[in-house]
Structure 1
């Protein structure tokens, strides 16, 4: 079998269960046989079915009771009189709020937790809350929570410091995050580890602070901390997204040369994606082959990257080869795969192929999302087929797809481009109903459409109303058009 297959070709390389039953001694022998026969007689299909249904109802009832209790806890979080609540429900409510990144609810529930008689402060809980606040870009709240930890008499652990540094770093406060690292280095019993530095490196890459990378790597070397796969992948991905390809390749070669932290699928996708996004198809194909020689097989994300890269380069034949390979090797395309293909053919004006893959996606049982519909509307608008836009809008109305501001901007632009001002304003008013806040793109699109129609009064009115009161703006525009 070949070890490598080149991207330029039409092909791409990319337990038994045992059961044993043991019976207690008292069930062995003749009596045990009679006992088992009785069980066998009782276990008819009807009885088994009833037992399963009964068990399912009990499970469902328990789940519903738990969910109701969790919601009740969230309501009680605003009150100060509850101090002896059931621990399991309070902790589950806090867990759900953290998992869903509902930071305001999480902090209220945590304050309620601290008032309970049975409460014992733990650094682990604080670390999880700090990590959530970092994900929600709430550095000020993270700072207050850290002070609360100290007031509870806890000594911050490495995880707590790391989560706090991450909260600053993810919000672009790199210097503040570095101060946390320096505080850790000055503490004898709480030194930063490879995970701490990996997160900080990721933050520096995200906010284009590339000059800090060498400094942090030098600190790690001085402290005897070796780079992990995550560290190298953060560096490679960051340099790749910044189009610093030479530094990216140097970091990759250093990773390979380390002999400990070897490249993996994340490394493959970062390198191939960097060259693909940069339009360097030759390098993309070269490194795709190199990773296969290292024994790293592609996944669906890799193929999505290849399809998107070939599509951008208008290399539709190679794009089709990747799609065919996925079908032959039973790689299941995702909604992202289909959205990329639909967008590629839509931008190319190939409506027939776009619709072909849209139908294939639905036949596979995949539900289109707002990105799918937005892509279709843009493509139909681009070629001037307004009736198709109407058809897509009807499909959206009859579906449970979650709409966002980007979708409405797309639809508003399509109807504005077609000169249908009434429909455009209708969609603008519907944004309030769907809780989608208009942004500057929404207003700029509508103003441009009004000016193109010579409706300068409506355009000026919208200019004055831009963000303060979206609902009244929509109402007044409706009166002007009528």
Structure 2
């Protein structure tokens, strides 16, 4: 049997496929985590009504609400499912006013599912009072209704109200408990969530995983592991949560042990482990694990995988590996995904290929704010301040609104290019933009901008205007670096003393202060700072650089004598110095006496 609609012939569907379609329709408004399943009710007794209801549900899922409503109006006979299908479609499409008008019609047919659909719409639209009034007026409520209301409170940040509501519930199931557990964990109420978990009459794998996730995110990794070991059943999500907790807390060896024990892995498992290595700057290990993933063949890399691997390559500035990965991404048809495209731009920029980075941006078919931020950051990385500012203006002309990341890149570009006035104007523009929250990174970039240009008075004015709790080690450290560049020993001492109070174990602060004193000829003060550093057992990390030659990355540290070609390299440097001197130029030795032996 065929049914005609909108010029198309639709096959008559068997009742089981209609049932599945209707279940999907009626369950949509409960979101993803945790899912609440609505028990099926009696099916429409008329086949014609059932087929029309199915078409309305299909049109609603596609967002074609005008057509769905037209079909609804043309139905000679409707049942409660017809009304629920259309009302739910309007709720799904965010057209809550139309849903409410339909719901309030005198001839409307409603049951508990219909009421719950509109209730969910109010909650998702943050209309809490309307949701409360509707819930209070409901003639019938089932467990799904109660769970929906509690989840709505949680999603709107009303965790205390959700807890009181949970206590009022006449009956609860595992979904009720899991919903509250998730809300408590997200709100940081770890102890209260653990008490609820202990009181649960029954638990499923979601219950266990929710608590383990909350403990891990709060830094209680050992406690999370104890709970993980007690789990009666585990799925791949549970394993991913546990070893990711180790990786995110820098315990990468324990993460790898758990990763190796996993009975099965998915793409999230591989990506999380790779990302853990990248966060700890173990870039070579991350690339090796990615190769292992490709050889395993059971999981295909996704966008997140490629972003992490591109970060590893960017950190190494390994252009050859970057080009090879770019080919893999093209074959995976993910090149034009915003985050992947932005990571490709960043990788080429850090490998010194700003021209290729620009080509990747130009060929992007889906430019969004992420892509624009990526190319602006690329030019900032290369110190091309003018180009970064021009791109910023072009981005705004295209209708894109800058965010906090955009401004960090712009201020950094102005700092490295010495565009002080332009940087100050951009900062003022950001402050006036009420949609952007001024963060620590913005003030740090501003300090760097003033310090590099010798405008320490402006920097001091900015610091004086900040609240005491906003003065972080990064901001003061950047200001101290400006004092070092300008040889301002007196100002540097005041800032350095304050910085040492905040970060007494930061070797960089001691080194900067020592260098400031030495540059001003105050060698005794410099020696005292060095002695304090030694007494605390601190050691300055040597500078490090690397270059890729012939598919091999060569790494160098300050005063390196361990490289296999060190004698030849120093000999070449000596010859270059001689050539410069013979040309009549002075060769400045920037190695400070206080840095000898470091």
Contact 2:216 2:242 in 1 (8 A): yes
The answer on 1:148 being equivalent to 2:208 is: no
Alignment partner, residue 399 of structure 2 = 365
The answer on 1:94 being equivalent to 2:154 is: yes
CA offset at residue 200 of structure 1? 1.6
Aligned counterparts of 2:246 and 2:466: Cα–Cα separation in 1 = 36
Aligned-partner SS, 2:448: helix
Aligned counterparts of 1:64 and 1:239: Cα–Cα separation in 2 = 38
1:40-439 correspondence to structure 2 within 5 Å: 67=127, 69=129, 92-97=152-157, 106=159, 108-116=160-168, 118=169, 120-131=171-182, 138=188, 141-151=189-199, 153-184=200-231, 187=232, 191-213=233-255, 215-217=257-259, 219-221=261-263, 226-239=264-277, 242-243=282-283, 244=285, 245-254=287-296, 256=297, 258=298, 261-293=299-331, 298-326=336-364, 330-332=365-367, 334-400=368-434, 401-421=436-456, 423-432=458-467, 437-439=470-472
- CA 460–385 in structure 1, closer or farther in 2 if over 3 Å, else same: closer
Contact 2:123 2:152 in 1 (8 A): no
- CA 16–71 in structure 1, closer or farther in 2 if over 3 Å, else same: closer
Aligned residues: 382
- CA 321–24 in structure 1, closer or farther in 2 if over 3 Å, else same: closer
TM-score for the superposition, normalised by structure 2: 0.54
- CA 135–371 in structure 1, closer or farther in 2 if over 3 Å, else same: same
Alignment partner, residue 32 of structure 1 = none
- CA 250–466 in structure 1, closer or farther in 2 if over 3 Å, else same: same
CA offset at residue 314 of structure 1? 1.3
Contact 1:127 1:163 in 2 (8 A): yes
Aligned counterparts of 1:183 and 1:319: Cα–Cα separation in 2 = 49
CA offset at residue 25 of structure 1? 4.0
Q: Which moved more, 1:205-214 or 1:359-368?
A: 205-214
Aligned counterparts of 1:466 and 1:91: Cα–Cα separation in 2 = 45
CA offset at residue 300 of structure 1? 1.8
Q: Structure 1, residues 397-438: CA drift from partner, whole Å, max 9, x if none? A: 432222112212222333344454554344335444xx9722
- CA 462–389 in structure 1, closer or farther in 2 if over 3 Å, else same: farther
Aligned counterparts of 1:429 and 1:70: Cα–Cα separation in 2 = 47
Q: Structure 1, residues 194-235: CA drift from partner, whole Å, max 9, x if none? A: 1111222222332343433564356443xxxx3223223323
Contact 1:236 1:252 in 2 (8 A): no
- CA 422–112 in structure 1, closer or farther in 2 if over 3 Å, else same: farther
- CA 26–111 in structure 1, closer or farther in 2 if over 3 Å, else same: closer
CA offset at residue 322 of structure 1? 0.8
Query: Larger relative contact order (C-alpha < 8 A, sep ≥ 6)?
Result: 1
CA offset at residue 181 of structure 1? 2.0
Aligned-partner SS, 2:383: coil
Aligned-partner SS, 1:21: helix
Aligned counterparts of 1:284 and 1:240: Cα–Cα separation in 2 = 15
Unaligned runs of 5+ in 1: 1-14, 28-50, 74-85, 98-104, 468-482
Q: Which moved more, 1:358-367 or 1:261-270?
A: 261-270
Contact 1:202 1:238 in 2 (8 A): yes
Unaligned runs of 5+ in 2: 1-61, 79-96, 105-117, 134-145, 503-598
Aligned-partner SS, 2:363: helix
Question: What is the alpha-carbon root mean square deviation over aligned residues?
Answer: 4.2
**Which protein is bigger by CA-based radius of gyration?**
2
CA offset at residue 159 of structure 1? 0.9
- CA 438–69 in structure 1, closer or farther in 2 if over 3 Å, else same: farther
Contact 1:271 1:284 in 2 (8 A): no
TM-score for the superposition, normalised by structure 1: 0.66
Aligned-partner SS, 1:321: helix
Aligned counterparts of 1:304 and 1:464: Cα–Cα separation in 2 = 35
Aligned-partner SS, 2:470: coil
CA offset at residue 357 of structure 1? 0.8
- CA 379–247 in structure 1, closer or farther in 2 if over 3 Å, else same: closer
Aligned counterparts of 1:193 and 1:297: Cα–Cα separation in 2 = 32
Aligned counterparts of 2:266 and 2:254: Cα–Cα separation in 1 = 18
Aligned counterparts of 1:247 and 1:96: Cα–Cα separation in 2 = 40
Aligned counterparts of 1:70 and 1:428: Cα–Cα separation in 2 = 47
